Chain A
Amino acid sequence: MTTVQAPSTRSAGAVLGLVAGRTAAYAGVCVLVVFFALPLLWLVLTPFSPTPSYRATLSGFTLDNFDNLLSNPQTWPSIRNSLYLATGSSVLVITLAALAAYALSRVRIPGRDQLLYALLLLSSIVTGTAAMVPIFLMLFQLGLIDRQVGVVLVLSGGLLPAAVFMLKDFVDSIPRSYEESARVFGASPSQILRHIVLPVIRPGMATVGVWALVQVWGNFLVPYVLLSNPSKQPAAVVMYTFYDAGGQPNFALISTFALVYSIPVVVLYLFVNRRYGFAFQGGIKG
């Protein structure tokens, strides 16, 4: 093909640069896919491997490892404990956060923005190891050490500021005319709350509830420090006890347990993502 005279050396260079850039981008993306996928291979392959070990390989397919899981006496109690901690905290957070968020959004309380921001900052700072010593001591004094309700209270306290913040954002975006027209028709405040407000903010509550559930489900440090009785520990902690006398991990048990323990958060994530989109993430602790 006879090319048009026009392309100067500069634009030829630009085309070359573009091709080089594209190639580099592709290579980079391939590297990234491998980087993010590599650690996950073990979780997908090992539970079904006839010879489970540290190495993730495709050496066959078996369901025998799951017998190991089912016969282990700690499996189901620990999952049940996780479930208890996660739903307990989630319900508590959602209830208190919805009440607070609604009132903060609709009624002018002096200094509410400053208060919210101060708490938000504090929660992202204090929930780590920094507060573990006083929290441990306080629960010790209250007689809440080694009790699951203590873990629920501590985790809820840590999650609440962010939950209130996210929900208030949500309530703010709901037009006030809904409540106004109900009021014009003579509905009482409690009727408006139950029949108008609650249905409208339910999606927001579901999103924040799932967020809290996932946070607690994966939390290791708080139950690890506050619960010492193995029968009360959640799955996150119990997973670290599946070693034999020689200190070798029990691969058949750990791999299947990890898979079973991970599935709920993945399913919940898919549910939230499909139903509401993951857009709310932008609001987290903003």
Chain B
Amino acid sequence: MATTSQAADVRPAPAGTPGPAPSGQRAPTPRHDGDVVGLGRARAVAFVAPAMVLVAVFLVFPAAWTLYLGLLDYSLTGSGAKAPTFVGLGNYTAALSDPAFAKSLYLTLLFVGGSAVLGQNVLGFFLAWYFRTASRVARTTLNVLVLLAWILPGSVVAFLWQALLDRRNGTLNALLGTTDMAWAIDHPMAVIIIFNIWRGTAFSMLLYTAALGTVPRSHLEVARMAGAGSWQQLRDVVLPTVKRHILTNTLLITLWTFNDFSPYLLTGGGPNNESEILPVYIYKEAIIGGHLGYGSAISLLLLIANLVIAVLYIRLLRTRDSEAA
């Protein structure tokens, strides 16, 4: 099944552990197939149930509720608070015809495309590629710095960037000798894109480092002996091998970046909504403005956008599979 092999694919290669093949294929005898402890199906369900209940209540149910709320003119204050009325697709038509929403969507696409699909992806791959031949010092230094940017708490990171970019005393202005450059106000989108590249490249780097480990050395040697330069090796040997990893990585970082709220801590969506990506827009509309129905409708539009992207990627993954087969 495609899904299982995808899971096996993403796992890093180093350990000699057998891949999580479906038990049916892997086991020669029926005794291996499944329940070796004698749990029984009833107890197995009892084991799974608590996790599923929690997920159903706090993940699936809110998602379903979003669907419903989007159809009401529900709000925290005013008439919509006491007796919310059914407005059907009113919130959706309002959102789709709202220039503020269109702008926010455009900014989100810019943010995701620039920082995740291009930025983190390419930089992460470059780092993983560079680490293969880099000196130990260079590799360790970069590795530690990139990982630190990833694991530090979001609040700390946001303040670090405020300190870096501050108008009067910021470190960046001090280094560049520029005075009174308010980076976060003059170039808000550039700032949050660069910030997100800094923040999230570690994941791509880790994933690609593992993925490049799966490229058989013998293939590279054959290519080298046939006279392939490093660019040709990359294009003809490495990229086809790690294609699936690239797709999986792109899917994950795309979804995460789409739902990323942390730019709010940097620019607050401002100035003049110039960096108001969708999560920030939803937050401002629903939680600050109290327009819960409208906020839910936009949440659902965001969910649908995410689903479309996920389905597109999975399609792409499947077609690549059948090509390879």
Contact = CB atoms under 8 A, between A and B. Distances in A.
Interface of A: 14, 25, 29, 32-33, 35-43, 46, 53-56, 92, 96-97, 99-100, 102-104, 106-109, 113-114, 117, 119, 121-138, 153-154, 156-158, 160-161, 164-165, 168-169, 172-173, 176, 179-180, 183, 189, 192-193, 197, 214, 217-221, 225, 235-237, 239-240, 249, 254, 258, 261-262, 265-266, 269, 277-279, 281-286
Given A54-B166, A130-B259, A265-B152, A103 B48 contact: yes
A225 B138 CA distance: 41
Interface in B50-65: 50-52, 54-55, 57-63, 65
Interface stretch (B13-21, B96-104, B178-186): B13-21
Q: Is the interface of B mostly helix, strand, loop or mixed?
A: helix
B21 to A, nearest CB: 8
Nearest to A82: B153
Contacts of A25: 130
A40 B145 contact: yes
Interface of B: 1, 3-4, 6-7, 9-12, 14-15, 17-20, 22-23, 31-41, 43-45, 47-48, 50-52, 54-55, 57-63, 65-66, 69, 123, 127, 130, 134, 138, 141-142, 145-149, 151-157, 159-164, 166, 168-172, 174-175, 198, 203, 206-207, 210, 229, 248, 252, 255-256, 258-262, 265, 278-280, 282-283, 286-287, 292, 295-296, 299-300, 302-303, 306-307, 310
Given A29-B130, A122-B60, A130-B259, A279 B14 contact: yes
Given A92-B54, A220-B155, 19 more contacts: A32-B142, A55-B169, A103-B44, A107-B41, A121-B310, A122-B59, A125-B303, A128-B279, A131-B299, A133-B292, A134-B65, A173-B15, A176-B32, A176-B36, A189-B38, A197-B37, A219-B154, A261-B156, A286-B9
A99 B252 contact: no
B35 to A, nearest CB: 5
Contact of B4 (A113, A128, A161): A113
B59 A134 contact: no
A154 to B, nearest CB: 5
18 contacts: A32-B142, A40-B149, A43-B156, A99-B50, A107-B35, A123-B59, A125-B307, A128-B258, A128-B260, A132-B299, A133-B69, A134-B69, A157-B54, A161-B59, A220-B262, A266-B148, A286-B9, A286-B248
A197 B242 CA distance: 34
B197 to A, nearest CB: 9
B51 A97 contact: yes
Given A128-B279, A279-B12, A109 B156 contact: no
A234 to B, nearest CB: 10
Q: Is the interface of A mostly helix, strand, loop or mixed?
A: helix
A99 B51 contact: yes
B67 to A, nearest CB: 9
A108 B17 contact: no
B302 to A, nearest CB: 5
A261 B153 contact: yes
B10 A286 contact: yes
Given A36-B146, A286-B11, A106 B130 contact: no
Q: Which 8 A-B pairs have the closest CB atoms?
A: A128-B259, A157-B58, A286-B10, A172-B20, A103-B47, A107-B44, A218-B153, A134-B65
A39 B39 contact: no
Contacts of A133: 66, 69, 282, 286-287, 292, 295-296, 299
B138 to A, nearest CB: 6
A153 B156 contact: no
Nearest to B170: A54
A281 B51 contact: no
Contact of A130 (B151, B156, B282): B282
B149 A119 contact: no
B296 A134 contact: yes
Contacts of A37: 145
A42 B163 contact: yes
Contact of A225 (B170, B174, B287): B287
Given A39-B149, A54-B169, A282 B11 contact: yes
Contacts of A46: 163
Contacts of B66: 130-131, 133-134
